[in-house]
Chains A and B, each alone.
Chain A
C-alpha cells in the first residue's frame, strides 16, 4: 500500500466551478501537509502548506486537513483555465523526507 493515495483524474470542470482535490494517507505520524501545482514540462511549485488538522485559506485556494480520517483536500473556488495543471499533495513528519501523491490532472474548460 502506498503511503499517499491520490486519484490521478483527469478531472475536467467548466470555468468558474469549485474544484475539490483529495488525498488519503496511511501514516498517522504525518504532521505537515502540502499542495503543489505542476504545469506541463515544469517543476512542481508549492501552493500551500498546513500543519496538523484544520483549514487554511489563500485567495481562491483552501486546504483542509482531517487527521482523524487521514484525509486532506484542496478546494479551488472560481476555477480558471490557468488553473489547469497537475496537483500533487505531499506530506512529511520530519521535513527530511517528503511523500507525494501521484497527482491529479485538472482541466478547466473556458
Chain B
C-alpha cells in the first residue's frame, strides 16, 4: 500500500457527462501529480500541484481541470466526456516539489459509454 488513496476505484458514465476523481496524498506529501494511462498512449502526465498551487502542466485537455485543496487532497474534473477519455487515471504524491520518488495510488478506472 503506497499510502495514496484514490476514489472511486471504478466509474462508468455516459458521453457528455462530467466526473470528479479524488486523490488523498500520503501523509506529509505536498506535491500531487495526475496521470492518464490508456492502452494506446501509455502513461501520460497531466498536471502537478504543489501545496495548493499548479506547478506543471502536461498533456491535459481543456475539458479537464484539477485543483489541490488546503488539506492537500486533490480533485481531477473531467467534463464533456468522450469515449476516448476511457482510461486509468492515477494520482501520485511526493514530499517535495522536485522529487524523483513519487508514490502512486491504485488508480480510478473510468469507462465512458
Give A contacts to B, CB under 8 Å. 32, 34, 41-46, 49, 88, 90, 92, 94-103
Residue in A44, A49, A97, A103 whose CB lies within 8 Å of B100: A49
In the bound complex, what is the Cα–Cα distance between A95 and B41 (angstroms)?
21
Stretch of B62-70, B74-82, B91-99 with 4 or more beta carbons under 8 angstroms from chain A: B91-99
Residue pairs across A and B with CB atoms within 8 Å: the count is 59
B86 to A: closest C-beta gap in Å: 16
In the bound complex, what is the Cα–Cα distance between A92 and B56 (angstroms)?
12
Instruction: Determine if B45 and A97 form an interchain contact, defined as CB atoms under 8 angstroms apart.
Output: yes
Residue in A43, A88, A94, A102 whose CB lies within 8 Å of B92: A43
- A43-B100 CB under 8 A given contacts A88-B43, A96-B55, A102-B42: no
Instruction: Determine if A96 and B43 form an interchain contact, defined as CB atoms under 8 angstroms apart.
Output: no
Instruction: Determine if A96 and B100 form an interchain contact, defined as CB atoms under 8 angstroms apart.
Output: no
Q: Which residues of A contact B42 (CB under 8 A)?
A: 88, 100-103
Residue in B44, B98, B106 whose CB lies within 8 Å of A43: B106
Instruction: Determine if A97 and B58 form an interchain contact, defined as CB atoms under 8 angstroms apart.
Output: yes
Q: Which residues of B contact A101 (CB under 8 A)?
A: 42
Per-residue A-contact encoding for B96-111, CB less than 8 Å = 1, 0 else: 0111111111110000
Question: B2 at interface (Cβ–Cβ under 8 A)?
Answer: yes
- A49-B101 CB under 8 A given contacts A43-B90, A97-B45, A98-B45: yes
A49 to B: closest C-beta gap in Å: 5
Instruction: Determine if A43 and B45 form an interchain contact, defined as CB atoms under 8 angstroms apart.
Output: no
In the bound complex, what is the Cα–Cα distance between A100 and B42 (angstroms)?
8
Instruction: Determine if B98 and A95 form an interchain contact, defined as CB atoms under 8 angstroms apart.
Output: yes
- A95-B4 CB under 8 A given contacts A43-B106, A88-B43: no
